Chains A and B, each alone.
Chain A
Amino acid sequence: MTEDNTEGLLSPYRALDLTNEHGFLCGKILGDLGTDVIKIEKPGGDPARRIGPFYNDIPDPEKSLYWMGFNTNKRGITLDIETVDGQAIFKRLVKSADFVFESFDPGYMEQLGLGYSNLSQINPAIIMASISSFGQTGPYKDYKATDLVLWALSGIGYLTGDADRAPIMTSFPISYFFGAMSAAVGALVALGHRAITGEGQYVDAPAQLGLGWSSGPEAQGLWGIDNNIVKRSGRIYQRAKTGVGNEVTYIKHPIAYECKDGAVKFFPFVQGGSLYSTTALTEWVIEENMASETLKYLDWGTLNWQTVSQETVDEITQSFSRFFLRHTKAELWEGAQKRGIMLYPVLTPKDILEFEQLNIRDYWEEVEHPELGTSITYPGAFAKMTEAPCRIRRRAPLIGEHNEEIYVREMGLSTEELLALKQAKVV
């Protein structure tokens, strides 16, 4: 990768990104689509530069891989927006910007006189998006949250984990990403409104809405319609059957299975274009003489989940369990591809890097890091486009890397002014 100016879909636009780690993904999505995103950090560097992992395990603010990963396609300046001079500079930047993204506690920007009502006076076309835990208003708005607390309160936590233990969260925290992603989409809807009316607006993106949505139709519907509380069941898939009088029963079968050296995931589809996958696995199990009598004579195409008995399902899936335990992940994956079975190993990062499909599609991008004297392999675009490609155009900024470029060359501050601001810890 070399830094280039190939046009992206959103190249004419500029975003000011004040977010912390809760909101990085928002600016990254717009940056991948071509927006000129200016990441604004506190003088000395964003606290999120303390988040690991680190390049070669060296805990240095310029070596956070967390920072690097979520801030590609952004330029970087330092600015203390709590100072009067800092606020004046920020307001000047707002004049020529299209988007402002922030993820401070609700009310913080208003306190500084930088809320949407202030910014829209400076630039009526500005689109401002706030990423938060629970939203800018409502009874929980000032609740203290973390990824774990959000995960719990949003309803997804209760459903995640094994039946016999406490609910669990992903060990890599992801709760806030829903807020960041929603803010990006909301800002682009607002851009559509602006194209027609010329006016900007405010986007309120609470992570709880997205996370809450992810608990899905079964859990929400079985309570909201049938007064039944779905329980977490780990690797067991519970197929709900509703009856007359809202009675709910479940047919259970594994969705993840142990194999010789790890785990694989397989879902017994019986519908439409995916039926072949289930019958192909069945044939393989039969070939290796591991099928129960029930499985041998089963016609998957006519299996009805509403009427099949739990005993029958157990006999089928026990055959699968025994079969998988006899094979390694690699054997199963190879056989699955050959036979057209939708069976996947539970991938770790190493497996993902070696996943052939991603390599063939040139997913990975080598990004130069001259300051480290090396290049690093990054995940590439979230979509492939024929025009104005979505791609990594520049690595994440170093602390204040573009101060001179933006303050002096683009805004016209003098070098002396920049030096003064630097010494006064405004930038």
Chain B
Amino acid sequence: MMMEGTDKKSLPLAGVNVLDFTWAGVGPHSVNYLAFYGATVIKLESRERPDALRTLGPFKDGIPNLERSYYFSFTQSAKRYDITLNLDHPKGIELVKRLTGWADVVVDSFAGGVVEKWGLDYDNLKKIKPDIIMLRTCMHGHTGPLARQHGQGFILTALSGLDAVTGWPDRPPAGLYGAFTDHIAPLFNVASLLAALDYRRRTGKGLYIDQSQHEAVLHWVIPLLLDYTVNHREPKANGNRLAYAAPHGIYRCQGDDRWCAIAIFTDDEWASFCQVIENPTLAKDPKFATLLKRKKNEAELDRIVEAWTIKHTPEEVMALMQTAKVAAGVVANPKDQAGDPQLEHYQFFHQLEHPETGTLPIYHGPLFRLSKTPYELGRPPLLGEDNAYVYTNILGLSDEEFVQLLAENVI
């Protein structure tokens, strides 16, 4: 599905120009989608404060430099022109205003107050380009007392309500892994941007979009919030148990830290399970004959299940159960994920050539596949590598002017 030697002009967002002020996770992941589908993106950084992820390890071969971070690489898998610009210099502001005239879409992911300081808020951008679409994404949105607070996916999980329901009932919740919400908020942004572009195409009007990442990710826990607003109930962390299924868990298998998930909802599935494990006595045991009985004796049931799974590899458990139409899946570790035949079928991992890092196998395209529209990837940009092209070819500065900007530390 990925395009080789792309004819960019045929992609749906060809001709859309994007000025990309974003950094870290959510913003770049959002802008990636515009570039996957043909938009021309200029990523704006400054030499004093480059994209924060450029400085976050791990780094390729343990060499910490601005081009070698796994995090930065992961978030920059679409083609961008990368420029540097010093916005504390008056000439920097002049240049960014000219870039605004070029842009159809401006996206930033700073905390509140940053672009205002430069005079680049929506009202000002609109004066330069009346139909501009501006999307700003930050942890708490751009109004209210927390507007200026910096955000980060590792802690937004705490605000999302999901950390509180990820754990065992007998100890404090472990919480989600990593910056999980950084993988939720971007797709809401992409939906907003694509809808805004369609709206502008039809009406000629631009708009301002203010995304609070907190507000967006709460859409994933709506029923928990309604259970509180209506029934005043607080949810509990239950390990892997589910109120209306048993067995329902992750069971230890043969090998070092190997596990398999099994989920049984109906009595038929239970019968199939007992057949797979060749245990006719268990099938007839009244203690486990119905869902309610299995729920009542769940601790004992889990021990029986695990006594069987421990004698098998997770791959065997999954294969045997799936053949009998019982839902089961290997708990894939990173190695399993890298070798997953289904993910490979969808070309989940891509490799891209990069002058500093060689070929890292951690690049991704969009999370869906279209029957007629391919997507285009691009390697992470080097800091400022497109200065000459953007300032002279796109903005039309003369070579003399360009050299002057370099000399004055504007770029």
Contact = CB atoms under 8 A, between A and B. Distances in A.
Interface in B42-68: 49, 52, 55-62, 64
Contact of A385 (B13, B208, B248, B373): B208
B372 A189 contact: no
A419 interface: no
B215 A161 contact: no
B209 A171 contact: no
A281 B342 CA distance: 46
Contact of B62 (A138, A243, A277, A363): A243
Nearest to A64: B223
A344 B229 contact: no
A177 B217 CA distance: 11
Nearest to A216: B178
A149 B263 contact: yes
A184 interface: yes
Interface stretch (B167-175, B292-300, B391-399): B167-175
B12 interface: yes
Interface string A67-94: 0111000000000000000000000000
A215 interface: yes
6 contacts: A158-B334, A216-B178, A231-B257, A342-B152, A347-B164, A383-B192
A357 B332 CA distance: 38
Interface string A114-138: 0010000000000001000011011
A350 to B, nearest CB: 6
A166 interface: yes
Nearest to A202: B371
Range for the number of chain B residues in contact with chain A: 35 or more
Interface in A161-216: 161-162, 165-174, 177-178, 181-186, 188-193, 195-196, 199, 201-206, 208-210, 212-216
A254 B63 CA distance: 25
A149 to B, nearest CB: 4
Contacts of A340: 149
- Tell me the interface secondary structure of chain B in the complex: mixed
A384 B163 contact: no
B326 A185 contact: no
A107 interface: no
B58 A218 contact: yes
Interface in B151-167: 151-152, 154-155, 157-167
Contacts of B338: 220, 223-224
A65 B227 contact: yes
A170 B166 contact: yes
A312 interface: no
Nearest to A150: B329
Contact of B250 (A146, A148, A234, A242): A148
A193 B372 contact: yes
A346 B175 contact: yes
B220 interface: yes
A201 B373 CA distance: 8
Interface stretch (B83-91, B93-101, B138-146, B280-288): B138-146
Interface string B194-231: 11111101100111111110111011111111111111
Contacts of A256: 158, 163, 172, 175
A310 interface: no
Contact of B223 (A66, A184, A196, A358): A66
B215 A172 contact: no
Nearest to A269: B152
Contacts of A184: 187, 191
Nearest to B373: A193
B336 interface: yes
Contact of B143 (A155, A165, A360): A360
Contacts of A411: none
B389 interface: no
B409 interface: no
